[in-house]
Amino acid sequence: MSFGSRAAAAMQAYGPACIGIDPHANLLEQWGLGDDVDGLERFAATCVEAFAGRVAFVKPQSAFFERFGARGVAVLERTVADLRHTGTLVVLDVKRGDIDSTARAYADAYLDEDAPMAVDAITVSPFLGFGSLTPFFEVAELNDAGVFVLALTSNADGHEVQHARRGDTTVAGDVLARLRALNGDARPMGPFGAVVGATIGDADWDLDINGPLLVPGFGAQGGTVADIRRLFGSVLDHVIPSTSRQVLAAGPDVAALRASAASVNAELVGS
């Protein structure tokens, strides 16, 4: 099955929420864990126990594992494998972007199904030029994986680049249009998605790219169900709201984490 098909099926089965796995230092402390590899391992194992096979998507933030060096990356690799064995789709937040052979190497590292760190989808940055992402799209297509391209991000400074004019459109508008063309008429949706923040404010964007829309900024960052309804309107069935702190604050109790994730999904489905 293509990533678009798997994503649609997972959303139907579990709800649309994507739960971030962000083991930053403050959260490790909040969970009573050390800011070290042992703490990281316990955090990751708890998240796997809580979310594997119970939510549609999880989104590990690679940087919070990489900061511990090779041992941290090994924890990430095991976490990804443990989650994927249960059918939960893993979107690895790496925001990679490069050119030529380097982009191909990144794509092979994460999107080739035979790679040690193979995931279902990754985040990438288009700001070296949209054409620089071609290797990611090619490898993803060969492996039925997905790619989420930064378009309208939730950080306060994103508009400096994303709202800049490019001819008769904006940089973000051009990214969205190119994704729309890549996805074509795929059903139930294409495999190539956009990252669009729940806190972007302005609803005057054509967000119908016939692909999944990964929506950070929901929950603790201030984005609400009302914001999602207003921004995404007719494409709500393609929206994957992403939250981490709102759910992870319930840890380290596994039952509380599960209940928090279920509450988020219930709130979203009820919208």
Query: Taking the CA of residue 181 as centre, how many other CA atoms within 13 Å lie in the half-sphere pointing to its CB?
Result: 7
Instruction: Give the C-alpha separation, 46 to 106, whole Å.
Output: 28
Residues with Cβ < 8 Å from 174, sequence gap 6 or more?
A: 130, 166
Q: Map tokens 């509380």 to a residue.
A: 256
Q: Which residue has the tokens 């599960």?
A: 258
Q: How far apart are CA 194 and CA 24, in angstroms?
A: 25
Is 59 an active-site residue?
no
Neighbours of 245 (CB within 10 A): 14
Smallest CA-to-CA distance from 40 within 25, 58, 19 is with 25
Contact 4, 212 (CB under 8 A): yes
| Size of the chain in residues | 271
Which of 78, 95, 245, 258 is catalytic? The answer is 95
Catalytic residues: 95
